[in-house]
A and B are shown apart, each in its own frame.
Chain A
Amino acid sequence: MPLTDNQIGALIYRSGLFMDEENFDGFMQLCASDFRYQITAYSPELGKEMIWLNLDREGMEHLLKNIPNHVRLPGSFLRNLNVYLMEPQQANGDVHVTSSLLVIHTDLEGASRLYAAGMYIDDVVLSSGSPQLKSRTVKLATRQLGPGSHVPL
């Protein structure tokens, strides 16, 4: 049975929620065994696409597991997502999903500001009855990221 739009939307939105809550185990459970994650941004200075993070499933797990060991930007992120397109791929039944992403940072004083704007470009597969993320590319429009972030977007 093909994936329904509702199932796919729920997957994308839940992935954002889990990241906001820093429920990294929950996030990884939404990902396929061959999951790949990338953050990219285009540099007008270099005229090139830059890769700012490129991880397979294992790499992503190591990175998430080590987050508590790092000194990082205090506060929290809130991801605002809007699923724009769900495009079934004829060849393999995957669904190519395009969503807009706004990441809002709230500091410890309670001040919120826009941290990053971009798109999620996801490939979703059906795996034992439920949809999973096969790959996620975060295409950033924002290039000035202040201190940067230990937590993926």
Chain B
Amino acid sequence: MSRSAHEWTARPRLQDDEFVSSTVYTHPGIFELEQERIKRATWKFACHESELPTRFDFRTVEHAGYPIVLVRTEEGGIRAFINSCSHRAATVVRAPRGNAEQWRCLFHAWTYDTRGRCIAMPRASGYEQAGLCKDGMGLREVKVGIKLGMIFINLNDEGSPFDEYFGDAFEILEDVMGTKELEVFHLHKTVINANWKQWFETNMEIYHEYLHFLNRNIAMSNDEFYERRWKIYPNCHGTLTPMKQRYERVKGLGRRDERTLPGLTPGEFRVVDLFPDTTILCRATVLRIDTSNAISPNQTLVEQRGLGIKGESAEDRLIRINHHNQFWGPFGRNLPEDVVAVEAVEKSNRCGASRYGIMARHDEMKSLDDALMRAFYKEWSEYMGRPASNPLGALPGETNAANR
């Protein structure tokens, strides 16, 4: 039966964690609070070590609206800074990558070294009267953690230590990413018209595999697909039991028996989700790291990398690239479908044409269970200090707007 306006607006007759208010995706105040309390307070995947292999190599990225520069230090480690001049805020390092021992701001030539120290300001004597000198004018350093070649940053100096935050979440990636050195060969960054959490949800629930022609054929056609179980780690990272996928069931995909990444058996698929917005996926021969930057409630810069083995032959690399492109990348068969789906969700949510998102599937933690999404929104609610089922009820100065 269809529902009346009253029935449709009413809180679903579900447990608090079995649905979320659509305002978690659309409300500007919620968005700003997320940037502050979640994005700028937790560990964020920034880039892969292969993107800055040599000392003094740098990469610039963006995180929660902040420009960030990462650098390979003289000693071989990685440092990160907010990439904004201490003087008048101009972006200091403007190229996406490069190699430099010093960074000179284009605006007034204040200059920094790769330890973030301000080492030159033209005609510095003019600041003497004000009592300002280079010493106190370094760049703001950002904490760095490295795991299996992946570089993470954290804007929160007081946040949980890297190892504690991730715990054992990388355990099924140790062999894949920790045996041979990997290298990024693909990077696609693009803006999609959807909320950043909607994008992450496509990696946290696989009930939506009905959307994908390839997945219906190579994965959902096996009983094993449904029997896998979610494992949820402390701090809401999650993974699913690995499975073998049957690529040969779609003509033209070929097989994935050879050139599998270390630790992976033929056709093996693994996925690891890291709170709040990063996913690592392995499809036997190739690995993808997926992350995003929230631009506004309904705009997200998604960032996807494809990785192969560093130093492999050109022939092997090309096969890996081809495997990557069958599913992923802008001309892959899978990722465009996910984008079309989440943009369709955003279109309804935008002006309140949908009030709630349902996450009420229970299946003993098996693959079609919404357990990881429920865990995600429980964690989200704790960071945000308000329930995802009714987040506006408690915003200062606002009445309960869930029924706007």
Contacts and interface: CB of A to CB of B under 8 A. Distances in A.
The contact size tier of chain A is 20 to 34
Given A43-B187, A71-B211, A148 B331 contact: yes
Contact of A44 (B96, B321, B331): B96
Contacts of A54: 318, 321-322, 325
A51 B330 contact: no
Contact of B213 (A44, A51, A66, A145): A66
A144 B187 contact: no
Interface in A51-82: 51-54, 58-59, 62-63, 66, 69-74
Given A71-B211, A149-B331, A52 B191 contact: no
A74 B330 CA distance: 15
Given A45-B96, A143-B189, A72 B337 contact: yes
Contacts of A47: 97
B213 A147 contact: no
B322 A147 contact: no
B322 A72 contact: no
Given A143-B189, A146-B190, A71 B337 contact: yes
Contact of B185 (A44, A50, A74, A152): A50
A69 B186 CA distance: 26
A147 B318 contact: no
A150 interface: yes
Contacts of A46: 51, 97, 184-185, 187
Contacts of A50: 185-187
A147 B325 contact: no
A58 B251 CA distance: 10
A62 B330 CA distance: 18
Contacts of A66: 213, 250, 252, 333
B332 interface: yes
B320 to A, nearest CB: 10
B59 to A, nearest CB: 7
Given A46-B97, A70-B213, A53 B331 contact: yes
A147 B339 CA distance: 5
Given A43-B187, A45-B97, A51-B321, A150 B336 contact: yes
Contact of B252 (A52, A59, A143): A59
A43 B95 CA distance: 12
6 contacts: A46-B97, A52-B188, A66-B333, A143-B190, A144-B190, A147-B192
